[in-house]
Amino acid sequence: MKINYLFATLFGCCTLAASLASAQTVKIDSSYNNTYYQGRMELFVTLPQTPNAIVFLGNSITERGMWHELLPGKVVMNRGIGGDNTFGVLARIEPIIASKPSKLFLLIGINDIGRNLPVTVIAENYEKIVQRFIKGSPKTKLYLQSVLPMNDEILKAAYLKNKGHLIVELNEKIKAIASKYNLTFINLHEVFNDGKGNIKPELTIDGIHINPPAYVLWVDYLKKKKYL
C-alpha cells in the first residue's frame, strides 16, 4: 500500500512538473497599449463622435478597410487599430458607446490567438465587450463577426501558423455569445475560406490580412444579408 501511494505521489509530481514545463514554453502576451495604439487613440479623440454612425471596430483588418469609399452616402466611423486585441478593445470602447452608434460591426480575436491567449479568456473578454455595449447603448444594433481564416502556406510569421483550429473554436464561442444575447452572428469565415479552412489565396496579401477585392466581397456580403 505504501509503495502504491509513493508511486502515485511521484507520478503526480512528475505530471505536474511536465504540465508546468509545457506551460512555460508558451509565451502569453495580453499587452495592447503600445505607441501605435496610443497614436490611434489620440487620433480618435480629435475626430468628431457622430451619433448614429455605423462603426467598424477591430484590429488591422478593420483599420485597413476604406469604409467611407465602400459605403458612400453613409456615416461611418473606422475604429480599427492594428495589432489590437480584446483587452485593447475593452480599454477603449467607452467613447464609442457614448457616441450611440446605430450599428456596430465587431471583428476581434486573431491577435489574441496569435499571442497564445486561451480561447476561454478571449471569449470572456468578448462577452464583456458585448455586455458593456448592451448596457451603455442598448439601441445600437450589434453584429458579431467571426474571425477570418488564415493561410499557413502564405504566412511568414511562424507564431501564427497551425492555429486554424483555435480560430474555429473561438468562432463557435462568438456564435454562442451572439445567440445568448439575441444578436446577429456574421460568419465571415465561410465567406473567405477555400473549403479547407484556409483563406483563399486570391483574397489575402500575406496569409492573414486581406486585399481590396476581399473588402469589396465583405461589404457585398453584408449588403446581401441586409446588414447594411
pLDDT at 8 over 50: no
Fold of the domain spanning 27-224? Rossmann fold (3.40.50)
Strand segments (E) across 64-183: 76-80, 103-107, 141-145
DSSP E strand stretches across 87-223: 103-107, 141-145, 184-186
Could you tell me the residue ranges of all domains in the chain? 27-224
Place of cell 508511486: 7
pTM score of the predicted model:
0.87
Cα-based distances in Å from 3 to 10, 11, 12? 10, 12, 14
CB-based contacts of 19-26 (< 8 A; 24+ apart in sequence):
26/116
169-194 pLDDT tens trace? 999 999 999 999 999 999 999 999 99
Residue-wise pLDDT for 122-151, tens only, equals 999 999 999 999 999 999 999 999 999 999
Q: What is the pLDDT of residue 26?
A: 62
Picking from 97, 117, 104, the residue whose alpha carbon sits closest to that of residue 32 is: 117
Separation CA 179–CA 177 (nearest Å):
5
